[in-house]
Structure formats: C-alpha cells, structure tokens
C-alpha cells in the first residue's frame, strides 16, 4: 500500500477522452493530480472504439446537457486539435431521408439544429445529395446537410490530452482498477484501487461505463447505466474515397443509427449497431451484429464491398436511462466529489467542453490558481506517411530511424514507434503503439510489423519479448521460448 499517505489535490478516475480532457485542463492549475484507470493504456474503453465524429449538435434535444456541451465542445475542436497536433477535419455530414416520413424527421432535426444554434444546417434534395456524394443510394429523397460536422481520431486525441496533462505534472496510474471511493472523516476522499489506496481533496469520476457504480457508492440519487454495444466494420483506405462526408440515416430512439463515414486517416467506417448488453466490458463482435451493420449500410451505400474490410470491432456506450449527461458535483455526496456520468454520444464531441468546465469547477473548489509556468502542449509531429519528400529528407537527417519502415501498410517508421513509447504517457503494448502511430492498423493488421514492434518495445522498455502484451494484463503474445515449451511437452528429453 505504497500510496497510503500520499495526498493528492484531485484524483481523476478514468483515462478516456473525458478524464484526460479534465486532467489536461486541471493541469493548467497548480496542484497534485492523479489519473487512474483500470486498463493499461489511456483511451482503452469507449474512447478507442467509437465513430470518431465531432457532431455538429443537431441531434441532441435542446435544453439538455448533451446539446449544450456538444455544440460548445465541437466549436473548441479545431483549435484544440491544432494545438495538440491531432488529426481533425470538418467535412460536414448528411442525414439521409428515403421517404416523406423521413423528411418530417429531418425537419425536426433542423428545428433542433436552430434551437441548439448549430450553424449552416439546411435540408437539401436528391440531386444536390448525389452531386455532393455520388455513391449515395439514388433512392435518397432528401437530407439534412450539416456543414460543421467534424472528424477526429478519438484515441489520438485522448493520448495527446494525457501527454499534455502529464507534461504539466499529472501522474498516471494505469492497469489499476478502482474498487471503491469513500469520504474520509477528515473531509477528504479515499480511493481504493486494486494496487493501492490514495487520498485526495477532490475526486472526479470519469469512468465511462464504470462511472455508474462509482456514482452510486456516494450519491443519494442513484443512476442506472445501460451498456449499449455498437459493432463496426473498418474498410481499407482506397485511392478514390467513396464518401467525403459522414453519412447518417434518420435517428431512432436507440441512437443515431448506422453511419458510413470517412475517418481522419482516409479509411471508411461502417456502423454502429446498438444492442443493450449485461456486461459493460464485453466488446466481442457478433455475427448478427456485423450482418446488421452490412444490411443497414446498403441503404446508404448499395455498392459497399466486403473485400475492403480490414477489421471489425465493437465499443460500449454508457447510456444513462434518463438519456442525458450528468456533469458536475455529485448530488448528495460530501464536498469534493465531481463526475461526468452517462457520457455516451456525443461525448467525444463534448469532451473538450466537459474537460474545461469540470476542470475549472474542481480547480475553483480546490482554490487553485492558473500556473504561470504551464507548458503548452507540444503538437504531435506530422506522421511520416503524410510528409512530402523534402520533409522526409529533413526528418531522416535529424533521426536516421525515419529511414526504417516498420509498418509497410501505414508507412510507420522506427523513429515514430520509439517516439510513441517515449511519450509522457507512452505506449506499453502492441495496441498502445498502434493507437499512437497506426503501426498494425492497416490492411495486414500487424502480420508483418508486430514482431518488429515487439522488439522495439523490448529495447525501449528493457523487458523480454515474453513480457510484451497486446493490450496489457494477460494478453501476452508469446507463451515461452521454444526450449521451454518443448521441455514442458516432453520433460524426459533433453
């Protein structure tokens, strides 16, 4: 229990995009900060497996926290992404209508857009849709056009926020699940984790799907979080990208429906489904779910080709049964308890706003002042794959390991992989390297590069290949040396 006695000003529980945004904001103030998470890396829950859309804000009901924070957050994205050097774009979105009934839904969305002060939305007709996006199903009737809809790489955003927080003194304790939070007799908070226990003047619960259980430990108003799983297909990048905008279908009460969207890296994402499940950590994909995605996608994009699929995945939305975010002071709890609970879509869009508001609120509670020596984030360097030849020459001159291509599919160099491991909150696993560099994210899915990535992790971390994991915990890639396993099988032989 080495943490016993260490007193933090604030402990942030959950290192997803919301937790890291809160941490980044709070690190602008003096104060001793700790971020804890159950997973071995940041962004290892909902933040790594979602649509990566920065929603314009027409979907959320006016007057809700979702609507307010979505619109505020999405307006912050451009500047924040630039500051952090994270891939971001604003290609716009279409919500497709295939009937006059759908047109009524679109009109309601347009009215919401106006109420939420989302700029530039309008309803457009078939010809204009097909001119904008020629691969759209020609049976389309009309669409809501939202020019401010954006795209971000959610895990890269989270990693960059975490780095900025860490560069300004925030500590991270990963692979350390929180078991219990409770107020202490001296007016502080105790955070019990699997590895340790910590004290803090304030706690901020940003634990995603786990936030409901923590909330209910300390609040007088109980909440119920529903784990709503969404399954996706990811398609390879193609020479001619079939859609430049995010293509939604009309929303249902289960969510925004199945979309077809480019990603910031030029892939195409298809999904998600929306299935309520019992185990909030079960991110398996299912035949039924994947088939559902494909069926629904064909309405938007009849010519979708399964041969372009490079992977499938699923993510969990933490849906609060009343449908809105719960942000701020924990109701009925002693002073110093804050939270962001029920942060499902548009949570990624809202994250910068949640981070700013909640970070400022907790700092004010703690009586902290903005630090004079706060270090501005170091923007992530341009990826080798996006460099011009001249930039590649320059990069090579500074670091000859830019000359070694480790991941051929995504053109990731050894220099970039080493840098990802050396970042303030660095990669510790194959997936950690993948999220930060895209090595292994391409069409061969790490078939060629994972042995080399493993070697580089070993060199950087000073561990044996037998210690390297795919994603922490027991996800080890190798089970033993040839000799060890042969010996186990035939103990009598030499």
Partner 1 sequence: MKTELPAIQVDILIVGAGPAGLAAAIAAKKAGVDSLIVLEREDNAGGILRQCIHNGFGLHRFKEELTGPEYAQRDIDTANEMEIDVRTGVTVLSVTKDKVVTAISKKYGLQIFQAKAVVLAMGCRERPRGALAIPGTRCAGIYSAGTAQKFVNLEGYMPGRTCVILGSGDIGLIMARRMTLQGAKVLACVELMPFSSGLNRNIVQCLHDYNIPLYLSHTVTDIHGKERVTGVTVSQVDENRRPIPGTEIEFECDTLLLSVGLIPENELTIGAGVEMSPATSGAVVDDHLQTSIPGIFACGNVLHVHDLVDFVSNESFKAGQAAADFVQGKQANGRVIPVKDGAGVRGAVPQQIRLEKGAEHENVDVMFRPDRVYQNPYVVVKADGKAIFSQKKMIMAPGEMANITLNAKQLAACEDAEAIEISISMEKPVLA
Return residues touching partner 1 (CB under 8 A): 233-234, 239, 283-287, 289-290, 306, 309-313, 388-393, 396-397, 400-405, 408-409, 411, 414, 443-448, 450-451, 465-466, 469-482, 484-490
- Tokens representing 429 are 């696993």
> Concatenated DSSP letters for 42-55?
TT-SGGGSS--EE-
Shortest reach from residue 152's CB to partner 1, in Å: 22
User: Residues 239, 442, 308, CA angle at the centre, nearest 5°?
Assistant: 55
Shortest reach from residue 175's CB to partner 1, in Å: 11
Q: Report H helices in 168-262.
A: 211-218
Identify the CA nearest to 410 among candidates 379, 429, 433: 433
- Tokens representing 104 are 């009524």
Q: What 3-state DSSP class applies to 340?
A: strand
Q: Report H helices in 318-429.
A: 347-366, 389-398, 414-422
Shortest reach from residue 396's CB to partner 1, in Å: 5
By beta-carbon proximity to partner 1, the closer residue of 32 and 476 is 476
Shortest reach from residue 447's CB to partner 1, in Å: 5
Shortest reach from residue 372's CB to partner 1, in Å: 38
Distances (CA, A) of 205 to 21, 54, 414, 490: 13, 23, 37, 51
By beta-carbon proximity to partner 1, the closer residue of 38 and 201 is 38
Annotated active-site residue 483? The verdict is no
Shortest reach from residue 492's CB to partner 1, in Å: 12
Q: What 3-state DSSP class applies to 222?
A: coil
Shortest reach from residue 409's CB to partner 1, in Å: 8
By beta-carbon proximity to partner 1, the closer residue of 70 and 285 is 285
- Kind and range of the H or E run holding 326: strand 326-329
> Concatenated DSSP letters for 435-465?
HHH-TT-STTTTTTTHHHHHHHHHHHHT--G
- Tokens representing 493 are 């032989």
Tokens 């995504």 sit on residue:
410
By beta-carbon proximity to partner 1, the closer residue of 42 and 409 is 409
Using CA atoms, how far apart are residues 184 and 26, in angstroms rounded to an integer?
23
Query: Who contacts 164 (Cβ-Cβ below 8 Å, separation ≥6)?
Result: 24, 27, 84, 375, 377
155 touches 427 (CB < 8 A): no
- CB-side neighbour CA atoms (13 Å) of 142: 16
Query: Who contacts 82 (Cβ-Cβ below 8 Å, separation ≥6)?
Result: 88, 379
Active-site option among 55, 215, 265, 319: 55
Distances (CA, A) of 170 to 26, 166, 280, 364, 425: 9, 5, 28, 17, 10
Shortest reach from residue 392's CB to partner 1, in Å: 5
Enzyme catalytic residues: 55
């Amino acid at each position: 229990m080495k943490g016993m006695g260490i007193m933090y000003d604030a402990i942030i529980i959950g290192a997803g995009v919301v937790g890291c945004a809160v941490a980044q904001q709070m690190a602008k103030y003096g104060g001793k900060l700790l971020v804890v998470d159950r997973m071995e890396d940041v962004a290892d829950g909902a933040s790594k497996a979602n649509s990566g859309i920065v929603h314009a804000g027409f979907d959320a009901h006016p007057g809700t926290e979702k609507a307010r924070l979505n619109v505020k957050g999405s307006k912050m994205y451009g500047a924040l992404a630039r500051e952090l050097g994270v891939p971001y774009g604003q290609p716009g979105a279409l919500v497709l209508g295939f009937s006059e009934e759908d047109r009524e839904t679109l009109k309601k969305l347009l009215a919401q857009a106006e109420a939420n002060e989302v700029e530039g939305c309008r309803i457009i007709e078939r010809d204009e849709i097909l001119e904008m996006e020629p691969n759209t199903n020609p049976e389309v009737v009309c669409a809501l056009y939202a020019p401010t809809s954006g795209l971000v790489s959610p895990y890269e955003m989270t990693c960059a926020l975490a780095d900025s927080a860490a560069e300004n003194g925030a500590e991270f304790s990963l692979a350390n699940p929180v078991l219990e939070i409770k107020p202490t007799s001296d007016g502080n908070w105790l955070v019990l984790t699997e590895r340790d226990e910590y004290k803090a003047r304030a706690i901020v619960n940003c634990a995603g799907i786990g936030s409901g259980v923590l909330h209910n430990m300390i609040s007088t108003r109980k909440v119920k979080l529903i784990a709503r799983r969404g399954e996706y297909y990811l398609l390879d990048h193609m020479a001619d990208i079939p859609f430049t905008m995010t293509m939604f279908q009309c929303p249902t009460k289960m969510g925004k429906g199945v979309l077809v969207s480019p990603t910031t890296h030029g892939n195409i994402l298809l999904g998600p489904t929306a299935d309520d499940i019992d185990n909030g950590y079960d991110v398996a994909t299912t035949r039924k779910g994947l088939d559902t995605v494909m069926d629904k996608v064909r309405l938007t994009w009849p010519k979708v080709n399964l041969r372009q699929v490079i992977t499938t995945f699923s993510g969990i939305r933490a849906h609060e049964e009343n449908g809105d975010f719960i942000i701020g002071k924990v109701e009925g709890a002693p002073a110093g308890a804050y939270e962001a609970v029920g942060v499902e879509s548009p949570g990624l869009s809202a994250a910068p706003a949640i981070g700013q508001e909640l970070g400022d609120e907790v700092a004010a509670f703690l009586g902290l002042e903005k630090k004079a020596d706060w270090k501005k984030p170091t923007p992530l360097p341009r990826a080798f794959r996006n460099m011009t030849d001249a930039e590649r020459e320059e990069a090579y001159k500074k670091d000859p390991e830019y000359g070694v291509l480790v991941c051929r599919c995504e053109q990731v160099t050894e220099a970039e992989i080493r840098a990802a491991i050396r970042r303030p909150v660095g990669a510790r696993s194959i997936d950690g390297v993948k999220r930060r560099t895209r090595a292994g994210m391409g069409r061969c899915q790490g078939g060629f590069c994972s042995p080399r990535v493993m070697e580089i992790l070993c060199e950087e971390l000073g561990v044996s290949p037998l210690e390297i994991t795919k994603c922490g915990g027991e996800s080890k890639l190798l089970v033993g040396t040839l000799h060890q396993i042969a010996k186990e099988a035939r103990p009598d032989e030499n």
